[in-house]
């Protein structure tokens, strides 16, 4: 008999996208398609009304309900940088007060070095690296195949990741696990071929294959049609670089027009990969292009393996302005080799290019990234007692300099003041 899955999604709510976690929904869609019962417990750790005690009570109540009925269950938790304290507290409580095995997945697990998981999460029983959809189905069915990135506590840890083909996965939208509202998060692919040292996507690039990492056209078309009929107003596409494959991108944009998708499409982009065919295909769609430039300083770009061709960026910006295509540029402050003066220089470049919207985010060191291993090299010092630690000093700037950069960033960012704090605490870097 299949085990019941109690799935905990402690997400980070963004004002424009809401709190629904697409990764969690994709796992639940696979469970639903396999006929596996589940209970979703969802919350946002940065919400003003978040109460850990209430979250804990809901989880324990769900597990105890299964225990009273004599049903086996597993507790699955998505582990992210923003819910690390919650994950640690929950796993200890669940382990000591119930008999349910605990399964951890998500970036905090996927990018942990081999042999470290048991020390990092001593109360967890099972860990899943990589895509978790097929792994959770297998675990619910009483199986534990290592090919799905499953590692059981106490066994030899080979740090193997699941290589699930996306076309085999059920859609959270088409299975009605998620229902479209005014704003949705969406994906058409996973993975990135670039190797920015601050980004967890870089590890995927070793085995990145477009044919394997893309969702199929049929599913995307059905989902786009669903969004159009539901009157969705904004679609945040989470692909690291949406237009990486120009022909495929043009085909997708054509589909969006054909199904009558009028929602604003937020697309993550890279200046150097923008082709004229992509710009042409945007005609007739409501889009905003989000360019993660991070820095305009060559030495800083080299330090984070993200050096930019500003000449190309300038040409692309001129084309976008000529077509009246909305776009924004994001920067990071707190980078290795950065100074207060160089951050101002990056901002000045954006101002000189008349970038309509500039975002500036503090540097966060994500687990398993190259930068995670270079803390000492660059003298990176992180903040303490914050939900998401970020770099506040280094070999090249003082904490006082950081405060000035922070003030510049808050002045430059242009959302309304009611959502300023939430947007400054952005979780996902743009590619």
Pick the closest to residue 293 from 264, 232, 335 (CA basis): 335
The CATH superfamily label for domain 4-152 reads Cobalamin-binding domain (3.40.50.280)
Distance CA 83, CA 117 (A): 16
Percent of the chain that is helix, strand, coil (3-state, to 5): 40, 20, 40
Give the helix/strand (H/E) hosting 330. strand 327-333
Predicted confidence (pLDDT) per residue in 218-247, tens digit: 999 999 999 999 999 999 999 999 999 999
Distance CA 129, CA 390 (A): 24
Do the beta carbons of residue 162 and residue 132 sit within 8 Å? yes
DSSP track, 133-183: HHHHHHHHTT---GGGTEEETTS------B---GGGSPPTTTTTSS---SE
Residue 417 has what pLDDT? 35
Placement of tokens 């999460």 in the chain? 121
Helix then strand count (H, E) for the chain reads: 16, 14
pLDDT over 70, % of the chain? 92
The residue ranking higher by pLDDT, 239 or 430, is 239
User: Where is average pLDDT lowest: 3-7, 9-13, 380-384?
Assistant: 9-13
Polymer length in residues for the chain: 431
The residue ranking higher by pLDDT, 167 or 405, is 405
C-alpha distance from residue 215 to each of 55, 148, 165, 223, 273 (Å): 33, 19, 9, 11, 20
Whether the per-residue pLDDT at 431 is higher than 70: the answer is: no
Q: Could you tell me the two tokens for 51? A: 């109460």
Distance CA 415, CA 423 (A): 8
Residue 266 forms beta bridges with which residues? Answer: 236, 288
Residue 416 has what pLDDT? 43
Residue 16 has what pLDDT? 63
Residues whose CB falls within 8 Å of the CB of residue 258, separated by 6 or more in sequence, listed in order: none
Distance CA 62, CA 8 (A): 11
* Mean pLDDT across the chain: 91
At residue 206 the predicted structure's pLDDT band, cuts being 50, 70 and 90, is: very low
Q: Could you tell me the two tokens for 306? A: 């993200």
Predicted confidence (pLDDT) per residue in 120-133, tens digit: 999 999 999 999 99
Give the rounded distance of the alpha carbon of 426 from its chain centre: 10
At residue 1 the predicted structure's pLDDT band, cuts being 50, 70 and 90, is: confident
Domains of the chain, by residue range, sit at 4-152, 180-424
Distance CA 216, CA 396 (A): 46
Whether the per-residue pLDDT at 102 is higher than 90: the answer is: yes
Whether the per-residue pLDDT at 209 is higher than 60: the answer is: no
Predicted confidence (pLDDT) per residue in 362-379, tens digit: 999 999 999 999 999 999
> What is the reported pTM?
0.90
Distance CA 222, CA 416 (A): 35
Predicted confidence (pLDDT) per residue in 14-28, tens digit: 766 656 689 999 999
DSSP track, 301-322: HHHTT----HHHHHHHHHHHHH
Q: Could you tell me the two tokens for 132? A: 């978790």
Pick the closest to residue 93 from 61, 134, 137, 70 (CA basis): 61
Mean pLDDT along residues 56-65: 98
At residue 430 the predicted structure's pLDDT band, cuts being 50, 70 and 90, is: very low
Distance CA 398, CA 334 (A): 10
CB atoms within 10 A of CB 11: 24
Predicted confidence (pLDDT) per residue in 144-181, tens digit: 888 899 999 999 999 999 877 788 899 999 999 999 99
At residue 421 the predicted structure's pLDDT band, cuts being 50, 70 and 90, is: very low
Mean pLDDT along residues 254-258: 98
Do the beta carbons of residue 40 and residue 31 sit within 8 Å? no
Whether the per-residue pLDDT at 419 is higher than 60: the answer is: no
Q: CATH class for domain 180-424?
A: alpha beta
Task: State phi, psi for 108 to the nearest 5 degrees.
Answer: -65, -25
User: Where is average pLDDT lowest: 132-136, 142-146, 179-183, 418-422?
Assistant: 418-422
Residue 147 has what pLDDT? 87
CA angle 145-134-116, nearest 5°? 60
Do the beta carbons of residue 346 and residue 340 sit within 8 Å? no
At residue 74 the predicted structure's pLDDT band, cuts being 50, 70 and 90, is: very high
Q: Could you tell me the two tokens for 196? A: 């920015």
Residue 150 has what pLDDT? 96
């Amino acid at each position: 008999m299949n085990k019941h899955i109690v799935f905990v999604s402690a997400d980070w709510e963004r004002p424009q996208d809401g709190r629904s976690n697409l990764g969690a929904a994709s796992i639940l869609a696979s469970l639903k398609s396999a006929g596996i019962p589940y209970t979703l417990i969802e919350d946002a750790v940065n919400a003003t009304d978040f109460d850990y005690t209430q979250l804990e009570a809901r989880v324990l109540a769900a597990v105890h309900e299964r225990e009273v009925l004599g049903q086996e269950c597993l507790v699955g938790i998505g582990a992210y940088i923003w819910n690390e304290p919650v994950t640690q507290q929950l796993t200890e409580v669940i382990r000591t007060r119930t008999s349910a095995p605990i399964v951890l997945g998500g970036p905090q697990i996927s990018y942990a070095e081999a042999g470290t998981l048991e020390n990092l999460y001593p109360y967890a029983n099972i860990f899943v690296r990589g895509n978790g959809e097929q792994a959770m189905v297998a675990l619910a069915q009483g199986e534990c195949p290592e090919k799905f990135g499953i590692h059981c506590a106490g066994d030899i840890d080979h740090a193997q990741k699941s290589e699930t083909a996306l076309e085999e996965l059920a859609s959270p939208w088409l299975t009605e696990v998620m229902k479209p509202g005014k704003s949705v998060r969406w994906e058409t692919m996973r993975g990135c071929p670039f190797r920015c040292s601050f980004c967890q996507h870089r590890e995927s690039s070793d085995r990145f294959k477009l044919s394997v990492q893309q969702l199929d056209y049929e599913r995307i078309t059905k989902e786009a049609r669903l969004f159009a009929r539901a009157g969705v107003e904004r679609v945040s596409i989470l692909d690291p670089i949406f237009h990486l494959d120009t022909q495929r991108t043009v085909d997708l944009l054509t589909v969006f027009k054909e199904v009558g998708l009028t929602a604003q499409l937020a697309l993550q982009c890279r200046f150097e990969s923008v082709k004229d065919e992509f710009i042409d295909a945007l005609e007739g769609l409501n889009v905003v292009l989000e360019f993660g430039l991070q820095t305009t300083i060559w030495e800083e770009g080299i330090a984070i393996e993200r050096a930019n061709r500003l000449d190309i960026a300038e040409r692309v910006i001129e084309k976008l302005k000529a077509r009246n295509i909305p776009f924004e540029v994001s920067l990071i402050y707190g980078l290795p080799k950065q100074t207060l003066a160089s951050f101002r220089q990056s901002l000045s470049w954006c101002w000189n290019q008349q970038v309509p919207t500039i975002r500036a985010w503090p540097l966060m060191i994500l687990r398993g990234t190259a930068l995670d291993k270079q803390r000492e090299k660059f003298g990176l010092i992180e903040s303490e007692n914050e939900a998401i630690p970020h770099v506040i000093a280094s070999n090249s700037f003082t904490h006082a300099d950081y405060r000035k950069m922070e003030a510049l960033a808050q002045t430059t960012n242009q959302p309304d003041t009611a959502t300023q704090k939430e947007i400054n605490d952005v979780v996902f870097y743009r590619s």
